[in-house]
A = this chain, B = another copy of it.
Amino acid sequence: MTSESLLELLTALQEGKATPDEVLKRLIHLPYEDLDFAKIDHHRPLRTGMPEVIYGAGKTDEQVMEIFAQMAAKGGNVLATRVSSDAAAAVIGKFPAASHHAIARTLTLVQEKRPARPGMLAVLCAGTSDLPVAEEAAITAELMGNTVTRIYDVGVAGLHRLLAQREVLAEAKVIIVCAGMEGALPTVVAGLVRAPVIAVPTSVGYGASFGGIAALLGMLNSCAPNIAVVNIENGFGAACFATSILAVKET
Distance between Cα atoms of A173 and B129 in the complex (Å): 32
Q: Which of B16, B223, B228 contacts A198 (CB 8 A)?
A: B228
Q: Which of B19, B41, B224 contacts A14 (CB 8 A)?
A: B19
> Are B222 and A157 neighbours in the complex by a CB distance under 8 Å?
yes
Residue A93 CB within 8 A of the other chain: no
> Are B184 and A218 neighbours in the complex by a CB distance under 8 Å?
yes
Residue A231 CB within 8 A of the other chain: yes
Say what secondary structure dominates the interface of chain A.
helix
- Chain A interface (Cβ < 8 Å from any Cβ of B): 3, 6-7, 10-11, 13-14, 16, 19-21, 23-24, 27-28, 31-34, 36-38, 41, 48, 57-58, 119, 126-127, 129, 155-161, 163-164, 166-167, 173-174, 180-184, 187-188, 190-192, 194-196, 198, 201, 203, 205-234, 236-238, 240-241, 244-249, 251
30 sample A-B contacts, Cβ–Cβ < 8 Å, listed by A number = A7-B21, A10-B20, A10-B23, A13-B13, A31-B164, A31-B166, A32-B163, A127-B223, A156-B156, A159-B159, A159-B191, A173-B248, A180-B221, A182-B218, A182-B223, A184-B184, A194-B244, A206-B232, A207-B231, A208-B213, A208-B216, A208-B220, A208-B232, A209-B221, A209-B231, A216-B220, A217-B217, A228-B228, A228-B241, A229-B229
